[in-house]
Amino acid sequence: MANESASGITRSVGHGGSKELVPFGATEMRLTARQWLATLAIVLAILLAVPPIWENVERFDTGADYRIPYALSRDYWLYARWVKRAAVPGKVVVLGDSVVWGEYVQPDGAWPIFLTRESAGSPQFVNCGVNGLFPLALEGMVRHYAKLPAGQKVLLQCNLLWLTSPEADLSSAKEEHFNHSRLVPQFSPRLACYRADANEKLTAEIQNRVGFLQWTSHLQNAYFDQKSIPNWTLADDGGDPPHYPNARRNPLAQITLTVPTAPRDDPQRGPASARHKPWSTTGVGSTRFDWVPLATSQQWAAFQRVVRLLRERGNDVFVVLGPFNEHIMAPENRAPYQVIHDGVAAWLAAESIPHSVPEPLPSELYADASHPLTAGYELMAQRTLADPAFRRWLGQPSEK
């Protein structure tokens, strides 16, 4: 029988023997200072080494028309890997939201692909757009993940859709739930509509800065349906009664070491899709927007910071304003829209930022308020390449 002395320093063991205890100790095995340092070194080595090793082991198939799959829109570690691969001499990185990405079209029907095709493949334009990447999120993406080398040409699309209401602008006082919340400013500037608690915000700040945590998020997005392993294991199938198909599966078997690709024939996108049709045929009618002035817009301020950040890094930036669907607007919306439109163009000119302000596309080439259809992207590419300012930026002679 064992007993402990009142001082907590000795314990009886066996037949009257005693053994000295370390005060406040809970176990028999204790590490020395040197052993703690060795343990720390091993942990740090794992944290630093695993992501780059994984990058070399995991198969990541891309092609000329590659874009981040819709299901992996929040896989920022993979996005950083894609941008790193795209940022090579002779290529133009195209940044933006779903307008660049191509919400209604197949990968080979997006704007960057038509730019490459219409320019006979030189230079090559790379689709680095992400679905739903509004300016406040784009700022976080550029700051933490899209770290392009100095001298890299960047074609940046400015979508005024994010100023069509205080909710879209994230400047309303009412709580809003939105995509890419991990990328928005967590503490400053303050977003009144973003009500995450301090723990969630701190976690986001740390994840955006620690490569190992970004990698673990990649595993969740790529192999576990955007869930942690415990949540994936306990996920039900939505039936009644529910079933738990993953409960007895081996989580390690999910990791195939191959980045998932988008479906070859996406039923939601492309000319064969039911969604791929002019906005005027959907019965939507004219739309009234509650435009947010540039002076108070959170999204516009973020876009300005993105441009400045890219230029501070030495990136060669060209901005295309639009293509917003002016045909969809109610007549009373046109005056405030024009003020915003002209204000953006004036700021770009004042900052000596190379830019293009193209005319709106024909009405039948829009799917909604800002997304072109496939033929719309083709015409948009032709107009962009014909713009003298754009040709000068590319270092090409102007067309006669």
| Structure-block tokens of residue 211 | 């490569």
Note the pLDDT of residue 41.
Answer: 95
H/E stretch holding 40: helix 33-57
Instruction: Burial-class residue 280 by CB neighbours within 10 Å (0-12, 13-18, 19+).
Output: middle
Residue 359 DSSP symbol? P
What is the separation, in whole angstroms, between the first and last Cα of the chain?
100
Taking only the tens place, the pLDDT of each residue in 318-359 is 999 999 999 999 999 999 999 999 999 999 999 999 999 999
Helix, strand, coil percentages, rounded to 5, for the chain: 45, 10, 45
Q: CA 387, CA 151: separation in Å to the nearest integer?
A: 22
Residue 372 DSSP symbol? B
Q: CA 11, CA 231: separation in Å to the nearest integer?
A: 44
124 beta partners: 91
Note the pLDDT of residue 6.
Answer: 45
At 95, is the secondary structure helix, strand, or coil?
strand
Query: Do the Cβ atoms of 77 and 63 come closer than 8 Å?
Result: no
Q: What's the structural domain count of the chain?
A: 1
Question: Does some domain include residue 18?
Answer: no
Q: How many CB atoms lie within 10 A of CB 28?
A: 8
| Residue 157: half-sphere exposure toward Cβ, Cα within 13 Å | 31
Q: Which residues of 247-263 are buried (b: 16+ CB within 10 A; e: fewer)?
A: eeeeeeeeeeeebeebe
Note the pLDDT of residue 28.
Answer: 64
Lowest-confidence pick of 2-11, 132-141, 164-173: 2-11
Q: CA 1, CA 13: separation in Å to the nearest integer?
A: 7
Q: CA 76, CA 183: separation in Å to the nearest integer?
A: 9
Question: Does some domain include residue 324?
Answer: yes
SS (H, E, C) 266-290: CCCCCCCCCCCCCHHHCCCCCECCC
Question: Does some domain include residue 400?
Answer: no
Question: Does some domain include residue 6?
Answer: no
Work out the average pLDDT over 12-23: 55
Taking only the tens place, the pLDDT of each residue in 41-96 is 999 999 999 999 999 999 999 988 999 999 999 999 999 999 999 999 889 999 99
Question: Does some domain include residue 264?
Answer: no
Question: Does some domain include residue 28?
Answer: no
Q: CA 66, CA 261: separation in Å to the nearest integer?
A: 9
Q: What is the pTM of this model?
A: 0.89
| Structure-block tokens of residue 299 | 């999204």
Query: Do the Cβ atoms of 364 and 280 come closer than 8 Å?
Result: yes
Q: Tell me the pLDDT band of 5, cut-offs 50, 70 and 90.
A: very low
CATH of residue 114's domain is 3.40.50.1110
Question: Does some domain include residue 138?
Answer: yes
- Domain assignment of residue 376, given as a range: 66-215+269-394
Q: CA 188, CA 98: separation in Å to the nearest integer?
A: 26
Work out the average pLDDT over 388-396: 95
Q: CA 191, CA 207: separation in Å to the nearest integer?
A: 20
Question: Does some domain include residue 229?
Answer: no
> Among candidates 380, 310, 286, 304, which has minimal Cα distance to 343?
304
